[in-house]
Amino acid sequence: MDIAISKFYKSGRYDLDFKNYVSKEGDRLRSNTLVEIYKGFNKDSLIIYIEDDWEGCTALTFQTDIQIVGDDITITKSRCIQCTYFICAHNLDKSKGWGTMVSHRFSDFFMADLLISVSTGQIKAGAPCISDRLFNYNQLLLIKEEFG
């Protein structure tokens, strides 16, 4: 689940009605309530990973088997990052037992090549309905055909 929680985190609480300009501050949720909602989702559905719960990250890590993905917490703007920095960060994450997920911030097949080169094992590319995402899926298929 890509929650994009940074979009509705306000003043230490989570505003699930953030698109409503007259949402009430009293209706905003504390982190522990949001964690319980996520745990309920996990009982009803197979959730593999959740992104971006700032406050509840620790609770979710210890109370569920859901993979927590940092995204807005840990992401670096793609225009600022260089491959060397990414590889260093990936190696540091790996040494600490963390995983790395390459995300769709490139407009060509570079992301697929990067994913394979460092063996991240996960890609976040979205639905294959936009051309820049198709580049990456097609490149992964070509790599699979060539190398198995």
pLDDT tens-digit series, residues 7-59? 777 777 888 777 777 777 778 888 888 888 888 887 777 777 777 666 677 77
Torsional sign, CA 97, 103, 106, 109? positive
Q: Structurally, how many domains does the chain consist of?
A: 2
pLDDT tens digits, 117-129: 888 878 877 777 7
Mapped onto helix, strand or coil, the DSSP state of residue 110 is helix
10 and 70 belong to one structural domain: yes
Task: Record the pTM.
Answer: 0.61
Closest CA to 143 of 123, 108, 115: 115
51 and 67 belong to one structural domain: yes
64 and 128 belong to one structural domain: no
State which of 54, 75, 96 marks the end of a domain. Answer: 75
CA atoms within 13 A of residue 66's CA, in its CB half-sphere = 28
Name the H helices within the chain: 31-44, 57-63, 83-95, 110-118, 131-147
Range of the domain at 147: 76-148
